[in-house]
Amino acid sequence: MCNTKFGLRENRWPGIFFDLAARRSNDESSLSLERRSLVHDFEGCSPGHQLARGRPLQSWLLEDTRAIPYAPHGELHNARKTARSRHAACCEMANVRREERRALALMCVVRPTAVLFWFWFGIVASCLGAEDDPAARARRAFGDAEEQYKAQPRTLIAAWQFGRACFDLADFSTNNTERAEVAQRGISACREAVTCDTNCAPGHYYLGLNLGQLARTRSLSALKLVAQMEKEFTTASNLDSNMNYGGPDRTLGLLYRDAPSIGSIGNRAKARQHLQRAIELAPEFPENRLELIESYLKWGNRTDARRQLSALEQIWPKARARFVGQEWTTSWGDWEAQLEKLKRKLEDPSKVDPPRRS
């Protein structure tokens, strides 16, 4: 909106009036008009422009222009120059204060925004961490398999898949009571599967694995479960030896290796036979060679251990390219840790386990 008296916009920058005043004549009427224009312009300014050093800008202007009608031309020029200087200083101060207010307003916006950002970032990171946590994946898989098993209690596949989920979850149990409870549920489901179909290889295989989890929670009574485990793994190997990359023969080899030779089924020859057969069935699967290397070191056979290690290093890149995805994350972590441990044992003879009698 325009001012009808002066023909100027109210919100126009006030500095323009100083240039206008400098070009006017020296007579009293013109200077009076200058003062009214300047005063009018400052009255329309914001409070930040009108206050500086505790004095209104209007008072500065009036003090500087009051003597202008009676002053010579030089003094008039100096007075106008002083007024412009003071006005420039005031504008600079007002600009500083305006920037401070903007910075304060920005902080009021940025601080809550930053807090919200880090809050949601923490939630997202926690969710991603939970996705990468092997225990969380095992619990989630257990919950899904349990739902399927309850929805289809007489279904063969749902039964052995629930048994597999029980075995995986038992690995992350924090105490024997929890491990035994989960293993018992897996044993029940797998026995239901092999009852429905005696030729169900996965049912026999995961039944033996869950029996092994239960044996971990016992001491001397665990020996009674070893014979059952041997039977289930042997049946699974006869039905489908390729299952789980030679899984039945691999577990049989570990069972014969770790079981006591006196009073149980421990046998070095059988352990070597089944571990070697697992490698023949799935030579690209790292765990088969890792277990055979560890067995050779347990038996004090460093030559064969080095030979198998060399073969493992050759197939390691191919295995890396083949076994990919989130489901293999835990396995690769275990395999790499086991490989480093075996390498240290081969480099340091003092870390090799003493030979065990078969």
Measured over all CA atoms, what is the biggest interatomic distance in the chain, rounded to whole angstroms? 128
Predicted confidence at residue 317, as pLDDT, reads: 96
Name beta bridge partners: 9. Answer: 2
Cα atoms found within 13 Å of the Cα of residue 22, Cβ hemisphere only: 13
Pick the last residue of a domain from 115, 144, 169.
115
- Give me the pLDDT at residue 56, please: 46
Same domain for 315 and 357? yes
200-228 per-residue burial string, b: 16 or more CB within 10 A, e: under 16: bbbbbbbbbbbbbbbbebeeeebeebbeb
Q: Is residue 122 part of a domain?
A: no
**Residue 203 sits in a domain of what CATH number?**
1.25.40.10
247 with 224, same domain?
no
Q: Are residue 182 and residue 288 in the same domain, yes or no? A: no
32-37 mean pLDDT: 46
The total number of structural domains in the chain stands at 3
Query: Does residue 148 form part of some domain?
Result: yes
CA distance 18 to 213: 93
**Does residue 186 share a domain with residue 224?**
yes
Measure the CA–CA gap between 21 and 235, rounded to whole angstroms. 109
* Res. 75: pLDDT tops 70: no
pLDDT score for 17: 38
Q: What is the CATH number of the domain that holds 252?
A: 1.25.40
Q: Do 97 and 156 fall into the same domain?
A: no
- Does residue 356 lie within any of the structural domains? yes
Report which of residues 65 and 169 the model is more confident about: 169
Q: What is the pLDDT of residue 236?
A: 98
Angle (deg, nearest 10), helices 223-239 and 201-215: 160
Asked if residue 235 belongs to a domain, the reply is no
Task: Give 171-187 pLDDT, tens digit per residue.
Answer: 999 999 999 999 999 99
HEC secondary structure over the chain? CECCCCCCECCCCCCHHHHHHHCCCCCHHHHHHHHHHHHHHHHCCCHHHHEECCEEHHHHHHHHHCCHHHCCHHHHHHHHHHHHHHHHHHHHHHHHHHHHHHHHHHHHHHHHHHHHHHHHHHHHHHHHHHHHCHHHHHHHHHHHHHHHHHHCCCCHHHHHHHHHHHHHHHCCCCCHHHHHHHHHHHHHHHHHHHHHCCCCHHHHHHHHHHHHHHHCCCCHHHHHHHHHHHHHHHHHHHHCCCCCCCHHHHHHHHHHHHCCCCCCCCCHHHHHHHHHHHHHHCCCCHHHHHHHHHHHHHCCCHHHHHHHHHHHHHHHHHHHHHCCCHHHHHHHHHHHHHHHHHHHHHHCHHHCCCCCCC
- Pair 357, 245 in one domain: yes
Tokens of 133: 């946590």
Determine, yes or no, domain membership for 8.
Answer: no
pLDDT at site 111: 52
Q: Are 358 and 261 in contact (CB under 8 A)?
A: yes
Q: How far apart are CA 283 and CA 12, in angstroms?
A: 85
Phi, psi of 62 (to 5 degrees): -65, -40
Residue 124 is assigned to a structural domain of this protein: no
Same domain, 40 and 142: no
In this structure, what token pair is assigned to residue 33?
Answer: 């008009």
Length of the chain (residues) = 358
Asked if residue 10 is part of any domain, the answer here is no
Q: Are residues 351 and 250 in the same domain?
A: yes
CA distance 338 to 257: 17
Looking at residue 154, its pLDDT comes to: 78
Q: Which residue matches tokens 């972590």? A: 333
Q: Are residues 276 and 342 in the same domain?
A: yes
Q: Does 317 fall in a domain?
A: yes
Average pLDDT of the chain to the nearest whole number: 77
pLDDT one-digit tens code per residue, 254-304: 999 999 998 899 999 999 999 999 999 999 999 999 999 999 999 999 999
Boundary-marking domain end, from 200, 228, 256: 228
Write the pLDDT tens digit of every residue in 307-351: 999 999 999 999 999 999 988 988 999 999 999 999 999 988 665
Residue 257 shares a structural domain with residue 341: yes
182 and 175 in contact (C-beta within 8 Å)? no
Q: Indicate whether 64 and 154 sit together in one domain.
A: no
Q: Which of 24-33, 96-105, 159-168, 178-187 has the lowest mean pLDDT?
A: 24-33
Q: Which range of residues forms the domain containing residue 162?
A: 134-228
Does residue 59 sit in the same domain as residue 167? no
pLDDT of residue 148: 93
Higher pLDDT: 3 or 136? It is: 136
Show which of 202, 228, 254 is a domain's final residue. Answer: 228
